[in-house]
Chain A
Amino acid sequence: MNDSIWDWDTAWDVLPDLLEGLKITVIATVVGMVIAAILGLIIALVRRSGSRFITVPVRFVVDFIRMTPLLVQLVFAALLLVPALPPLAVGCGVLGIHYATYMSEVYRAGIDAVPKGQWEAATALNLPRGRTWVAVVLPQAIRNTLPGLGNYAISMFKETPFLFAIFVVEMFAAAQRYGANSFSYIEPLTMVGLLFLAVSYPTSLLVRRMEKRLA
C-alpha cells in the first residue's frame, strides 16, 4: 500500500460515486421533508381539534414514533415492505413519518403563537371555522414555523445515512461500499463528512438568518 495516509488518486476516484450518492441523499431529504411538513400539519390539527378519543391515541403514537430509534423503524419497515416497494421509497416514507412527529410540535407552537386577537377578530367578522384556519391562522402560523422546518430539514439531511441499513446507496453507503472494495476507508469516509459539512453548514447559516429576520 502507499506510505502517505491520504491518497489524492483514491479521493478523485471515489468522488463521482459520492456525488451520485449526494443526489440520492438530497432526494430523500426533500421527499421526506415534504411528507413531514404535510403529515406534521395534519397531526397538529388533529391533536388540536379532535375529541379525546382521537387525540389520546394520536398523542401516544406520536410519542412512540418520536421515542424509538429511526434506524430500527427503517429496518422494520423495509423488512415488511421492501419487495413490494423500492427501498428508497420506504426510506423516504419512514423519514417523513418520523420527522412529522417533530414537525407537529413545531406547528403546534406556531399555531399557539398566533395572537388571540386574530381568533377573536375572525369570530367578530363571523368567518366560518374553515376560513378562519385557512385564511387567518395558518398563514401566520406557517410563517412562525419556517425556521423550525429548516432546522429539521438539516437534521433530516444528516440522518439520511441511516438509509444504508436498508441498502439505499446514498452518499454514506457509497463511501462504505467503496471502502469495502478497496480497503481504503480514509478518503471516502472523510470526504463524505466534509460533503455533509459543505451542504449543511451554509444551509444552517441561511436558516439562522431567516430566524433573525422573522423573529
Chain B
Amino acid sequence: MSDDIQTLLDRLPRLGEGVLVTLEMTIGGAILAMVVALALGFGSRTRTLWVRGPSRVIVEFFRGTSLVVQLFWLFYVLPVFGYELQAMAVGIVALGLNYGAYGAEVVRGSVNSVPRGQWEASTALNLGQFHRIRRVILPQAWALMIPMLANLLIQLLKGSALAYYIQLHDLNFFISQLRKATSDTIFSYSVGLIVYFVIAYLLTLGMNALEVHFKSRLGAGPTLREVLRVAPVPTTEKAGAA
C-alpha cells in the first residue's frame, strides 16, 4: 500500500496532465454544447419551417445515435472524406454535438416555460426580437435551465473518459498507467474514481453558484455574495446547498 502511494506521488505531474486533458475536453465540449444548444434550441421553436425542420432533425439525430458511435465515426470515418481532426478536436466536437443536442431540448423547454405574459409584455413595450430574448426571456430561462444543464455537464465529464480510446492521455489513461505501475487494480481505480468525483463535485458547486446568481438576478432569492458572506464555515458548501 505504501509502495502504491509512493508510485502515485511520483506520478503526480502526470496525474495533473491527465486531469488537464479531461478538463480541456469537458470545458471545450461544454462551450461548444452551449452554443449548439442555444442555436438548435431557439432554432427548433421558430415559426419558419426551413429553420425549425433541420433543427429538429439535427437534435433527434444526435440524441438518437450513441455518443460512442459519433465519437468513433468522427475519428475513423471523417479522415476518409479528407477532414482529419486532431484527437482532442474530435473529442470536443463529438461531446459538444451530442450534449448540445440534449441541451437544445433543455433550452427549448425552458424558453417555452417562460410565462406567456412576459412575451406579451415585451411586445407591448415594443422591444425588438433580439432585446426581448436577451433582456426579458433569457434571464428567466437561465434560472430554469441551470439545474438541468448542470446534470448534462456531469454527463459530459463522464463521457470525456472515452478520450482514452482515441489515444488521448486523459485521466482515464492515467488510471490504467497507474494500474500497470502498481499492479494494484483496486488502489489505482479508487484513486481515479475519486479524482473524477472531486472534479464532478466542484463542477456541481460551480453550477449551483450560477443558479443562485441567476435566481437572485430575478429577485427570487439571495445574491451569491450574500450567500457566501452569511455562511459561517464551509462557504462554498452553503452556496451549493440548493
A residues neighboring B (CB under 8 Å): 5, 63-64, 66-73, 75-76, 79-80, 158-162, 164-165, 172, 176, 179, 185-186, 189-190, 192-194, 196-197, 200-201, 204
Contact = CB atoms under 8 A, between A and B. Distances in A.
Contacts of B175: 72
B172 A172 contact: no
Contacts of A75: 176, 189
A72 B189 contact: yes
Given A76-B189, A158-B66, A200-B64, A71 B161 contact: yes
A156 to B, nearest CB: 11
Contacts of B165: 165
Nearest to B176: A75
A67 B67 contact: no
Contacts of A160: 66
Contacts of B172: 69, 71-72
A79 B176 CA distance: 11
Nearest to B74: A189
Given A67-B197, A67-B201, A68-B158, A158 B67 contact: yes
Given A68-B197, A69-B161, A73-B193, A197 B61 contact: yes
Interface of A is mostly: helix
B46 to A, nearest CB: 21
A185 B76 contact: yes
B154 interface: yes
A186 B80 contact: yes
A162 B160 CA distance: 12
B162 interface: yes
Contacts of B201: 67
Given A189-B77, A193-B73, A71 B197 contact: no
Given A68-B197, A72-B192, A79 B185 contact: yes
Contact of B193 (A76, A172, A190): A76
Contacts of B159: 69
B200 A68 contact: yes
20 contacts: A5-B81, A63-B197, A66-B154, A67-B196, A68-B193, A69-B196, A71-B158, A72-B192, A76-B185, A79-B189, A158-B65, A158-B66, A159-B66, A161-B66, A162-B68, A172-B72, A185-B77, A192-B69, A193-B66, A194-B65
B185 A161 contact: no
Contacts of B73: 189-190, 193
A63 B201 CA distance: 9
A80 to B, nearest CB: 6
A14 to B, nearest CB: 14
A165 B158 CA distance: 15
Given A5-B80, A193-B69, A196-B69, A201 B64 contact: yes
State the 8 A-B residue pairs at the shortest beta-carbon distance, nearest first. Answer: A161-B68, A67-B200, A69-B161, A185-B76, A69-B158, A197-B64, A193-B65, A76-B189
Contacts of B66: 158-161, 172, 192-193, 196
B186 interface: yes
A172 B68 CA distance: 8
A172 B70 CA distance: 11
Contact of B69 (A73, A80, A161): A161
